[in-house]
Structure 1
Amino acid sequence: MSTLSDFNQQLLQFLNASPTPFHAVSSMTELLINAGFIPLKENEDWSLKDFQGYFITRNDSSIIVFTTGNQQYTKHGWRFVGAHTDSPCLKVKPNADLYQQNYWQLGVEVYGGALLNPWYDRDLSLAGRVTFLNNQKQMCSTLINFEEPIAIIPSLAIHLDRNANKERSINPQTDIPPILGLIAEDSTEKPTLNKLLIDQLNSTGHQDIKEILDYELCFYDKQPPALVGLKKEFIASARLDNLLSCFIGLHALVNSDYQSNEVPCLLVCNDHEEVGSQSHCGAQGPFLQQTLTRIIGCPITTAKVMSDSLMISVDNAHGIHPNYADRHDANHGPILNHGPVIKQNCNQRYATNSETAAIYKWLSQQQNAPFQSFIVRTDMACGSTIGPITAGELGVKTLDIGVPTFAMHSPRELTGNQDGYTLNKVLQTFFKTPQLPS
């Protein structure tokens, strides 16, 4: 098993290499191939073998990873872990070019429930997927990542808005288009995003681009992930919600001794959770159900398997902020580095019930691992996860759990340096346990 230091260093590398869901899935694919997992394609027949690991992607932004065990799927049931690959961000509009006061800007949409204030005054880069027509008139798609800071959203100086610290609001249409550069006074041709994309792709080896057809691009904070604090007890990074959970689940599955483990295990990381999950690759779409149908076959057998299976939905939890402790229920304020958080809500915004919570506590006891509980204040609205959606789609018992986090949905979030590692160890135990308590 990796040490805490090794785990966190690998996590930081994964976060840095994954500025978009497309890049996250690409990073996971590389890790899986190196670990001996075999890629599958949806439009081909599958011939699965015992004690082997496989993975399949959809839309380049969602991934399902599974191990077959001895393929006696009704003997133990499945061990499921779910997470999501997307994070709130600023997505570039289709006709994005803006020219104002001799500045070149790009229009953006706000994806998900983003905290907008922290996007100001940051070194921004651009990444995503580009679809183009090549010189042979074939349609191709590729990932793009500028890596260097190419844009910024400057704040309005306080001299021009004396009430900024009291009541400044943000209009997402007019106030946040990033600035990419100045337009020269003698310029005869304005810069365009399409030309920028072609130049960038040409510089990275794509020499046969005839025309940019479309793109899915988002800006991201170029500041790399880091261990911070006097004793380096915190992890600061973009996209901890929810790439942290993706990495925890992947690391646990890859290290679950799948080549000798009889228990079939599966990790699903869906895109579009932050905007409701209803898409062909989201948790409310058919991706997971269709994949399980192909693996297990008979609907009757699938129903039997689900009755003995458990889904652990892993998504970050709200740690109690020392400056805003009154935003928490007094008895349910998770503290960073005090263990993963069991998330419960009687209105089914989380899918945890007393039995699934008890199973997680039992698994934690096997590792002598700490855990905490979270319930939102009764007078506040509660967020949700893929947990209730997946439970409803599959009819599988489900637990919602996550690592306590500050500044969720900011471009720079914060977690403890130990909680992810703790959850990883418990999930490894979960994957390798032949019989869960009932």
Structure 2
Amino acid sequence: MKKEQFNQELLAFLDASPTPFHAVATMAEHLEAAGFRRLEESHEWSLKPGGRYYVIRNGSSIVAFSGIKTPMELTGVRLFGAHTDSPCLKLKPQPEIHRKGFYQLGVEVYGGALLNPWFDRDLSIAGRVTCQSSDGSICNLLVNWKRPVATIPSLAIHLDREVNSSRSINPQTQLPPVVMQVEDSQKKDFREQLLERVKAEHEGTDVVRVLDFELCLYDVQGASLVGMSDQFITSARLDNLLSCYTGLQALLNSNGEYPCILVCNDHEEVGSTSAEGASGPFLRSLLLRLTEEEGRLGQTLSRSLMFSADNAHGIHPNYMDKHDDNHGPILNQGPVIKINANQRYATNSVTSSFYRQLSEQLDLPYQVFVVRTDMACGSTIGPLTAAELGVKTLDIGAPQWAMHSIRELCGTEDAYHLFKVTQAFFNTEKLPVV
């Protein structure tokens, strides 16, 4: 796959995936088109040697695997992990707010969102709706308004003269978006509106009631190339759908000779402690089914390696002092090996050396990130998965700006380089054993 095609398909993937549910559904479409077959956790599995399969949990986490031919305790597994969720504003269960003839929706802040950029944007709504059919059965359906239906207007500077020097945001009172202007006597029922939307998107579905929903706001402005030379990609959810897409393409383009697993977990932005999060049993449960017993799983993991892919903080030309002088990754100069002495990243000298050597064999660049010693360090699914499974792990990622903003930015070179190295990793016969 050429870089131009890779990036154009990345833009399309980002636009098609406003929520983790949509991201997983989009990934499943790509996998199905490539011949992968879906498995259900509740069923018994009959796997063909060398077959290509995937499993979905909660509609928001997915594991895909291929190349399971020989006993995996002899070959180890090539794992690539990422997360499907991004910081956002999620609708409350009873979101209706009516004030002065304006109809608004109450929201919660999901994850460590950068809140200022959410103001004055064209916002839409998407997510999962759990419905009741006329026969009493329950079904889950995805919805996406796809057009601007909400906005969070800023307060005029004339009413807040100090806004440019000191601004704090009260998420309870200042973030509810405006969705409609109505008569004071009118009281909108959001569930009724949502039921209408479900019926419009899913014609022929015998849905009579909305029981509950998991919906979030998102910016309708699509992903795009930016810059006088198109050197940047700007979009929502680059953290971390860029990594999901990169791992997916590497798996689809691997040769299938060796056991490879792509795992994309939900809930990383809120700690990963859930049934489908990296601290949950999803991946371990699947590996046990593939290896059939705990002893074989331990042998397999001792020969395995995981790439934990999550974007890194690229050095910002307007904020140079936020980086260590020797460890400030630059956009478009290669994926970033992420290292932290306190195990906020799971990289060690063995896993970083493997990546360095593999990159050099492909003549591709790489960089190293260490947070300033006087600053706190974020984390990833890497340490969580390493601790849960006991698997050697490398934390890696494309450098980006504006992390956790409604609009993030990265370079056009770095994800493609990570894809090429990951593809080679999936095709590598021998992994490091320690």
TM-score past 0.5 threshold: yes
On the 8 A contact 2:76/2:431 being kept in 1, the answer is no
In the alignment, which residue of structure 2 is the partner of 1:125? Answer: 124
Q: For 1:209-288, list aligned pairs within 5 A.
A: 209-258=207-256, 261=257, 263-288=258-283
What is the aligned partner in structure 1 of residue 418 from structure 2? 423
Between 240-249 and 72-81, the greater mean CA deviation after superposition:
72-81
Residue by residue over 1:337-374, the C-alpha shift from the partner in whole angstroms, topping out at 9 and shown as x without a partner, is 00000000000000001111000001101211100000
Q: Hey, what's the Cα distance between the residues in 2 that align with 1:239 and 1:86?
A: 8
Equivalent-residue separation in structure 2 for 1:295 and 1:190 (angstroms)? 54
* Contact 1:49 1:68 (C-alpha < 8 Å) held by counterparts: no
SS at match of 1:181: strand
Name structure 1 gaps, 5 residues minimum.
none
2:427 maps to which residue? 432
Contact 2:66 2:260 survives alignment (8 Å): yes
| Residue pair 2:80, 2:261 contacting (<8 A) in 1 also | yes
Is it true that 1:309 corresponds to 2:308 in the alignment?
Answer: no
Of 346, 366, 369, the residue aligned with 2:364 is 369
Matching of residue 194 in structure 1 with residue 200 in structure 2: no
C-alpha deviation, 1:206, in angstroms:
5.1
Moved over 3 A (4+): none
2:345 to 339, 345, 350: 350
- With the length of structure 1 as denominator, give the TM-score of the two structures: 0.97
Deviation per CA, 1:256-302, whole angstroms, max 9, x where unpaired? 022xx1x1000100000000000000000000000000111111111
Aligned residues: CA RMSD: 0.9
The 5 A counterparts of 1:49-198 are 49-184=48-183, 189-198=186-195
| SS in structure 2 at match of 1:9 | helix
Q: Does 2:25 align with 1:26?
A: yes
Question: What SS does the aligned partner of 2:172 have?
Answer: coil
Residue 121 of structure 1: how far off its partner (Å): 0.3
| Structure 2 stretches lacking a partner, 5+ long | none
Letter in 2 for 1:227: L
Alpha-carbon distance in 1 for matches of 2:141, 2:69? 37
Pick which of 400-409 and 44-53 moved more. 44-53
How far has the Cα of 1:191 moved from its partner? 1.8
Q: CA deviation at 1:184?
A: 2.7
Select 2:332's aligned residue among 316, 328, 337.
337
Secondary structure at the aligned position of 1:268 is classed as: strand
State the alpha-carbon separation in 1 of the partners of residues 295 and 198 from structure 2. Answer: 49
User: In 2 relative to 1, CA 152–206 (structure 1 residues): closer, same or farther, beyond 3 Å?
Assistant: farther
> Could you list the per-position Cα deviations for residues 115-156 of structure 1 after superposition, in whole angstroms to 9, with x for gaps in the alignment?
000000000000000011111111111000000100000000
3-state SS of the aligned residue for 1:391? helix
Partner Cα distance (1:352, 1:303) in 2: 20
Query: Aligned partners of 1:413 and 1:376: how far apart in 2?
Result: 20
With over 3 angstroms needed to count, the CA separation of the structure-2 counterparts of 1:367 and 1:74, relative to structure 1, is same
Structure 2 letter corresponding to 1:329: D
TM-superposed deviation, 1:437:
4.3
Question: What SS does the corresponding residue of 2:164 show, helix, strand or coil?
Answer: helix
Measured after TM superposition, the shift of residue 208 of structure 1 is 2.3
Q: What TM-score results when the alignment is normalised by the length of structure 2? A: 0.98
> Alpha-carbon deviation of 1:168?
1.2
Match of 1:290 among 285, 289, 312: 285
Using the TM superposition, give the Cα deviation of residue 384 of structure 1 relative to its aligned residue in structure 2, in angstroms.
0.2
